[in-house]
Amino acid sequence: MAVTAGRRDAVVERKTKETEIRVRVDLDGTGRSSIATGVGFFDHMLDQLSRHSLIDMEIAVKGDLHIDDHHTVEDTGIALGQAIRQALGERRGIRRYASLDLAMDECLTRAAVDVSGRPFLVFRAEFSRHKIGSFDTELVQEFFQALAQNAGLTLHVTNLYGSNSHHIAETCFKALARVLGDAIAIDPRQADLVPSTKGMLA
Ligand SMILES: [Mn+2]
């Protein structure tokens, strides 16, 4: 069976005065990851993102954590998004759309994605606490914004209900993982086609 022309993987290296990042992704992986951002909770979330999307990820970050986690989280979203965009190439053969409701204990989060090339984020989740350990909960949205913008995803994430902030964050990442993994999967019936009546996805 013809699958795709070539491997869907990419490496991005990004260095600024605030962060130094190397990201490698393989879209046709098995969910293996090696993550070291220096931010424990964020590593835990990225590990979930890889595991449940089946995208292999190597992410190494040296960020200005003496200031706070903000630059590290946002810039990791930028670099990971750029790597996914690069690995997607023309977006040929992908299923393009996916959505699901993801449950975890008391918490339910809905995600829907269009791997369209057009960046747009709707993020509706309110956290009961400002911090999870030392991690600022507002950085969850910062990461999703950077990822959607740079990967070219129309992404909607809504926490429908839930009380525990760790669970709310984790369901956002796991729901993203599942919809992204499903939407970038190759549909063998259209493996040679770009899934748009325009004939291209930017
Ligand atoms: Mn957890």
pLDDT tens track for 138-176: 999 999 999 999 999 999 999 999 999 999 999 999 999
Query: In this predicted model, what pLDDT tens digit does every residue of 24-42 receive, in sequence order?
Result: 999 999 999 999 999 999 9
Residue 1 — very low, low, confident or very high, per pLDDT cuts 50/70/90? very low
- Strand 9-15 and strand 19-26: pairing? antiparallel
Q: Is 3.30.930.10 the CATH classification of the domain at 9-190?
A: no
Structure tokens at 75: 């810039």
Question: What is the model's pLDDT at position 5?
Answer: 56
Yes or no: say if 58 and 24 are a contact pair by the CB < 8 Å rule.
yes
Q: How far is the CA of 94 from the centre of ligand 1 (A)?
A: 30
pLDDT at 193 over 60: yes
Q: How far is the CA of 127 from the centre of ligand 1 (A)?
A: 15
pLDDT at 109 over 80: yes
pLDDT at 2 over 50: no
For the chain, the structural domain boundaries read 9-190
Question: What is the model's pLDDT at position 6?
Answer: 77
Mean pLDDT value across residues 80-105: 97
pLDDT at 48 over 90: yes
Q: How far is the CA of 45 from the centre of ligand 1 (A)?
A: 8
Q: How far is the CA of 61 from the centre of ligand 1 (A)?
A: 21
Q: How far is the CA of 9 from the centre of ligand 1 (A)?
A: 28
Residue 61 — very low, low, confident or very high, per pLDDT cuts 50/70/90? very high
Q: How far is the CA of 71 from the centre of ligand 1 (A)?
A: 22
Question: What is the model's pLDDT at position 100?
Answer: 97
Q: How far is the CA of 44 from the centre of ligand 1 (A)?
A: 7
Q: How far is the CA of 163 from the centre of ligand 1 (A)?
A: 14
Q: How far is the CA of 201 from the centre of ligand 1 (A)?
A: 35
> What are the CA-CA distances from residue 96 to residues 44, 93, 108, 117, 178 (Å)?
27, 8, 23, 10, 13
Q: How far is the CA of 167 from the centre of ligand 1 (A)?
A: 7
pLDDT at 90 over 90: yes
